[in-house]
Amino acid sequence: MSSPHAVSSARTEQALLIVFADLTRFMANSHSTPAGTLAELLDAYYRHAEGLISTVGGRVVKFMGDAFLAVWPEERAGTGAAALSGIKRDIDAWWAAQGWDSRVVVKAHFGRAAVGPFGQDEHFDVVGSEVNVAATLPARTVSLSAEAFRCLKNGERKAYKKHTAPVVYIRGLHPGGRSASLMGQRPRAKEDGTWRPCTLPSAICSESSTRSSRHPWRAGPPRRSSSLR
């Protein structure tokens, strides 16, 4: 076993294409599936997903139930971003062949993160705020942050359109340390006057992605732009 210092020194900060993917309706479809059968199904899915990712120069960092985290190094970020739509189609077809109506939702961001061994078993992982950005992108099919979108070549960008997130109002900390927000609504008068507007992260969504008309936090129709600044 390596010392904590040795493990720490083996980690580096790198620019990466960071991808989160998880399945829709997984809980509903797995509810009546025996544990042993579900384990075999997920094992087959993990192997299939790993093959798809590695074929286009990426690496699956870890699986988390029906979700996975994958990364591509900076020099292959464009290849990875361009492959995401095809990976989604392949995974969706794979689950359909199993008789499930689950579909994969893919979120991608390009940024810097700490990469390397962690813990006593020195398992490979990727950590940092940019990982959180990827995980929290709004998505229904394939979504790219503006940074990930820029990894694509000009001809590959046509299948995507810009989605601008709505403004929400965030209230300052309560005495107990909790924050409150009014999403998509004009804030009520508060004696401390600490409500302030805050824009959620935008995403470049695939052409087939449409927002639900029943978003509880949408103040109005989304603003769209055909160009990326």
Q: Render pLDDT for 21-37 as a digit per residue (tens, 0 to 9).
A: 999 999 999 999 999 99
Confidence tier at 201 by pLDDT (50, 70, 90): low
- With a CB cutoff of 8 Å and minimum separation 6, the contacts of 185 are 169, 219
pLDDT for residue 176: 46
Task: Please say if the pLDDT value at position 181 is more than 90.
Answer: no
Confidence tier at 5 by pLDDT (50, 70, 90): low
pLDDT for residue 180: 43
Give the separation between CA 145 and CA 163, rounded to whole angstroms.
10
Give the separation between CA 205 and CA 105, rounded to whole angstroms.
11
Task: Please say if the pLDDT value at position 98 is more than 70.
Answer: yes
The rounded mean pLDDT for the chain is 81
Residues of the chain with pLDDT > 90: what percent? 62
Task: Please say if the pLDDT value at position 53 is more than 80.
Answer: yes
- With a CB cutoff of 8 Å and minimum separation 6, the contacts of 62 are 68, 69, 123, 125
Task: Please say if the pLDDT value at position 220 is more than 90.
Answer: no
Strands 203-206 and 196-199: unpaired
pLDDT for residue 168: 67
The stretch 185-194 carries a mean pLDDT of: 48
Which domains, ranges and CATH numbers included, belong to the chain?
Answer: 11-161 (3.30.70.1230), 164-201 (no CATH)
pLDDT for residue 216: 33
Give the separation between CA 208 and CA 223, rounded to whole angstroms.
17
- With a CB cutoff of 8 Å and minimum separation 6, the contacts of 130 are 16, 18, 109, 111, 112, 113
pLDDT for residue 164: 76
Pick from 47-56, 65-74, 127-136, 165-174: least confident: 165-174
pTM of the full structure: 0.74
